[in-house]
Amino acid sequence: MKKIYSFLLVFLLATGSLFAQLETPVTWELSLNRISDTEAEVVITMEIDKGWHVYSAYLDSMTSALPTEGFWSDSATEYTIVGGLQELEPHEDYDPNFEETLKWHEEEAVFRQKFIIHSAEDFSLLGEITFMACNDRMCLPPEYVDVDLLVKGAKNPIKKEVEAIDYNDTEKDGQLNEITDELEAEGEGSSEEDRSLGMIFLLSFLGGFAALLTPCVFPMIPMTVSFFTKQSKTKSAGIRNALIYGIAIIVIYVLLGTLVVQIFGSDALSALSTNVIFNVVFFLLLIVFGLSFLGAFEIMLPNSWANKVDAQADKGGIIGIIFMALALAIVSFSCTGPIVGTILFQSASHGGMAPIIGMLGFSTAIALPFTLFAAFPGWMNSLPQSGGWLNSVKVFLGFLEIAFAFKFLSNADLVLQLHLLERETFLAIWIAVFGALTLYLFGKLKLPHDSPLPFISVGRLMLGLLVGTFTIYLIPGLWGAPVKLISGFPPPAKYSESPYGVGTKPHDDNIELPEHAHFGEHDIITFDDYDYALKYARKVKKPLLIDFTGHACVNCRKMEQYVWSDPKVLNMLKNDVVLVSLYVDDKRRLPKDQQIMSELQEGKKLKYIGQKWSEFQAVRYEQNSQPLYVIVDADEKSMNKPTGYDPEIPLYVDWLKEGISKFNKK
């Protein structure tokens, strides 16, 4: 693809044509699909060149990749936007640009945005679609597609205050159905999806065993065995009833997962997993669940529910067995509810069938021992006696719930960039939580429902040592240690009070920063505005090094970390040039008086800082990939040929020396 771009560029220059617009690997088309008189959707169809991809609308909030997003103008009377962008099932694979597994679309992508019509008059639907195209070597700057579609008014419009419509209807027009059938037939991404669902099942299965070892569930095993031994007249009848009981438990929990998917929709669940409000709400829920596990209070469903179900269970027969399984789910809710909620949320972020698979794994773990002991009651003698250890398991889970809760609060803080829960604060909270858990396991901390602990068992001692070791391991993270064991849980190192580490000075205090400059990578004095940088370069009579970069550009980070850190390179960057870093994916809005019309795309206004620098790069240097490095003089004339990503330090040193030398000879 890069060779094709180079050929086109040479051809244009050779024929003397004006360079009006760069080639793009993505072509898009907007259309309006009328679902009913009062419902419609914007359909964005993208044709993507081979080897390139655009990202899903729903990516993890921690990733640097930019999702495909829709932004819509508010309307007081004409329409209401419903939910987020809907999309066909994306491909999921390892992305070398961001060094993580991500979801994306190849060859063709279709996104839909549903809205409800409140106006009888025709109106314009205004908005903007943003997306980023990448291949396996680089990413292009984000593209911004303006939406301005004429919508016919409804004959019987829905009033704004009445919105009692099923907004989760996923019925597509004929074109979308056809594309979906083709993708399903090809089985695209099936192996990656299978691995992901397999991991969800395994983790949920382990969660089910954890719930089994709680005081709400474990003591019910002998009660269940007693019920079946009394009701079953023969051994075969006992095994049959036990199997029905186990299947009923699984069906109840799987129906719960199915219900969640049907109510919210798989795409809506994916959107919720990266939503700030939902992350904050789930943080509060986990804190409440954790405090409940620690013994602050009990979370229970109404007693009337359990009484009614018990009455049905007493009738016996298959119906009685099914109601007994339902009674287990209701009575054990105070212990299983927090775990079920956590599994549903985590699996929801994967979308599709994941919540159902999660509930299948959880319920299988719950049902298995009940079924086996009910079928073979003689095994009961091998079970440990109920006692204080059950409450200890519950307390252990409570500490884990509280620790994991702060991951969701961190997600919300990172999205909003509030810096309320930076890396040091997050680690301090985890150290406090796991430190308290260590003291609890060693018997130095007592909670409301704990039994007297005359001695510590060997198993509890080993677990305490393990948790204590983990707590000590976290402590150096407060001073900048990477703590790789929990990579992905705390905020990144740069989202920190001390990104350089405690006690390390980032730069010499005696250095005076020029106006509009800041200390950038490796403490290089850096500008982020071209005009200010050029003015300063003219003042100090140094060449200007333009660094076209991006927040989501992995190769840019590699150049900064591995090439710029070389002593020879660093010395020249600090002393021989003026550096300006222009971020082509900066999504901050330009002031109104700086929003100008694009030279490359007729009728399009440049609204964002990133758009300004992206177009500047394309118009001035006829390239649109990052990183791109250019050395210019006071008259903005290039000193040598621009260079891009090349991790060979000697070549970059030679390139810098060439540009600086030509500037000095002028």
Every domain of the chain and the residues it spans: 25-188, 192-387, 422-504, 517-664
Of all residues in the chain, what percent carry a pLDDT higher than 70? 69
Q: Is the pLDDT of residue 472 over 80?
A: yes
Structural tokens at position 315: 């009738």
Q: How confident is the model at residue 345 (pLDDT cuts 50, 70, 90)?
A: low
Q: In the predicted model, what is the mean pLDDT of the chain?
A: 76
**Cα separation, 543 vs 536, whole angstroms:** 10
Structural tokens at position 568: 């020879």
**Cα separation, 209 vs 525, whole angstroms:** 56
Averaging pLDDT over each range in 229-243, 377-391, 597-611, which range is the top one?
Answer: 597-611
Strand 79-87 relative to strand 108-117, pairing: antiparallel
Longest dimension (CA), the chain: 104
Q: Which residues contact 608 (CB under 8 A, 6 or more apart)?
A: 144, 586, 587, 588, 589, 590
**Cα separation, 634 vs 215, whole angstroms:** 76
The better pLDDT of the pair 489, 192 is held by 489
Burial class (CB in 10 A: 0-12, 13-18, 19+), 298: exposed
- DSSP single-letter state for residue 561: I
Averaging pLDDT over each range in 298-307, 323-332, 411-420, 445-454, which range is the top one?
Answer: 445-454
List pLDDT tens digits, range 196-227.
677 778 878 887 777 776 655 655 666 666 66
Structural tokens at position 169: 């209807």
**Cα separation, 322 vs 324, whole angstroms:** 5
Q: What is the CA radius of gyration of the chain?
A: 30
List pLDDT tens digits, range 62-116.
666 788 988 887 665 788 888 888 888 888 887 877 767 888 899 899 999 988 8
Q: Is the pLDDT of residue 189 over 70?
A: no
Q: How confident is the model at residue 174 (pLDDT cuts 50, 70, 90)?
A: very low
Q: What are phi and psi of 412, to 5 degrees?
A: -65, -40
List pLDDT tens digits, range 497-553.
776 666 666 665 667 789 889 888 778 899 999 999 999 999 999 999 999 987 666
Q: What are phi and psi of 111, to 5 degrees?
A: -115, 145
State the CATH architecture for 517-664.
Answer: 3-Layer(aba) Sandwich (3.40)
> Which of 380-394, 395-409, 613-627 has the lowest average pLDDT?
380-394
**What are the Cα distances from residue 387, in Å, to 65, 224, 311, 462, 472?**
50, 18, 29, 20, 31
SS3 544: strand
Question: Is the separation of the CB atoms in 116 and 35 below 8 Å?
Answer: no
Q: What is the CATH number of domain 25-188?
A: 2.60.40.1250
Q: Is the pLDDT of residue 586 over 60?
A: yes
**Cα separation, 416 vs 495, whole angstroms:** 12
SS3 648: coil
